[in-house]
Structure 1
């Protein structure tokens, strides 16, 4: 019955879990070890890793020494200058070769693209003299000017044929009358002189005027072609001893030799046709010139621009200025 008298909710033995021998032993030993550990003492019961500190050795200090400057010798300087000049020369030669290559490529491209080559006068390929001008009335001249330009070109051709026939007529006259040698000699001169001069002085200017609507070329054509008209009239009249088979010379030869007189009359008729055609073409070109809007002020502007941009004129002006300056300096 005693077992039923005990209270089951009352522990007869006050059990302290921290009084357990195993727990007490562990806590006691750890406490003593922690108490005995002194981090600042050299001897400790705990085994701890020791760190060895190596003191830094100061770098040996040396006084700063200024190195003396060594100037290159004249031979070294001359060699360096010569090497620099050679390098510059090689660079210039390389650039020149590059420019030549590019220029050749441009020429090849232009030829491949159909650049216009000179085609007048039409000479055979075996001839050493090459054409000097490019002429294409159909391709370069506007349609409204092509007819007049062709007529002026035909007039120049007729002019050359007339001068050649004049030479033959004067030769025939010289064979019948030895005193007419002056006319024959002058007829040769007129053929050699007037044929190329007419092409250069009035046909090419009017060709350029029609091609580029140039006021300066129009005025140049009018100025020269007017004198050409006067020459045609003089040649058609036929003043004796002037080298022209005109009407006066042809009529005066009838009594001496009729055949020669007839030949000279034919030539006189050719000179007359040249004069008439010159008057007609001069009026036609003038009417076209007025429709193009050209003016004298525009011609002056074109002339000034052409002269100032001409390299020959620039070099001549520079030479003249330098010569004048040198002479003035020498006088002073």
Structure 2
């Protein structure tokens, strides 16, 4: 088989360096070998070419190859949610608005604390300038009360006190509208003069009295955790809610544009009846809101730890700290002592 292949038989004594392929390569000068080139010998000149010089011929055509595609950055793939630049802008805007709202809340809280510290720095004997009602400077009558819900009321009760203040304003507006309703009824029926007069009385009486008798007590109760003011508010406001229910009913001749009077006014004049029915709706909402706020304040009262015993102690302390009461008690004691001494002398 050795005549067909270049590999000798296993049994032949063959020298591998005498292989014709090896001897042919070593005798061929077309290939550069280490024997022909010494890199440290400068006399030999440049290294021999790997292939012998041949006659110039036409350049071989280079096969056309497909140019490599330019690598370009690819857009992010969508893995279930659409993420676009507009979405990123909206998310960033929402985050900035949220942070701005938090900063505004912190600024309001810091301002409230600063005003509270300033009020404490005034000392117990210092008096604040009244700011309610907010009257113009040219008015001869000045404000009668000092009121600042953000500074004097604890943050957990500020919402409730603010609602009570707006509720008082709502009742004042309802009484003013009741005066307009009674006036419109008097214009079409002159027999309603008594109702108009009472409507004027109610708006002049209930508006300031409700502020002093039940709003100020609830304000002072949450301001100083006063049990006495809580009980004062509960008693007066309960009576006020009963009056609101009577207003809603609308008894004829009482000066309230409730449901009975408004339905009766439809027979006389439809426009006047509609106006009075709107007033009856306001009275109904006023009574319902009064019941809700009474229950809400009572639930907060139970959380503050106030009690009837504390209310009695506060009442006794307040009475004895009043200069007029102490002077009257001293005069009464002196008169009694003088009478007893005169009786014993006789």
TM-score when normalising by structure 2? 0.61
- Give the aligned partner of residue 216 of structure 1: 228
Which is greater in Rg?
A: 1
- Higher RCO (CA-CA < 8 Å; seq separation 6+): 1
1:54-133 alignment runs, 5 A limit: 116-133=128-145
The secondary structure found in structure 1 opposite 2:266 is: coil
- Give the aligned partner of residue 317 of structure 1: 329
Structure 2 unpaired stretches of 5+: 1-120
Deviations 1:99-118 (A, max 9, x none): xxxxxxxxxx959xx96311
- Give the aligned partner of residue 155 of structure 1: 167
Compared with structure 1, are the counterparts of its residues 330 and 262 closer, same or farther at alpha carbon in structure 2 (3 Å cutoff)?
Answer: farther
Per-residue deviation, 1:318: 2.5
Per-residue deviation, 1:320: 3.4
Where is the helix percentage greater, Structure 1 or Structure 2? 1
Per-residue deviation, 1:283: 0.7
- Give the aligned partner of residue 295 of structure 1: 307
Is residue 2:206 matched to residue 1:194?
yes
Per-residue deviation, 1:125: 1.1
- Give the aligned partner of residue 63 of structure 1: none
Of 298, 303, 309, 1:286 maps to 298
- Give the aligned partner of residue 18 of structure 1: none
Structure 1 unpaired stretches of 5+: 1-108
Aligned mates of 1:277, 1:223 — CA distance in 2: 17
TM-score when normalising by structure 1? 0.64
- Give the aligned partner of residue 251 of structure 2: 239
The secondary structure found in structure 2 opposite 1:143 is: coil
Of 259, 269, 282, 2:281 maps to 269
Aligned mates of 2:339, 2:171 — CA distance in 1: 50
- Give the aligned partner of residue 241 of structure 2: 229
Deviations 1:102-161 (A, max 9, x none): xxxxxxx959xx963110000111112111111001111111101110110001001111
- Give the CA RMSD over aligned residues: 2.0
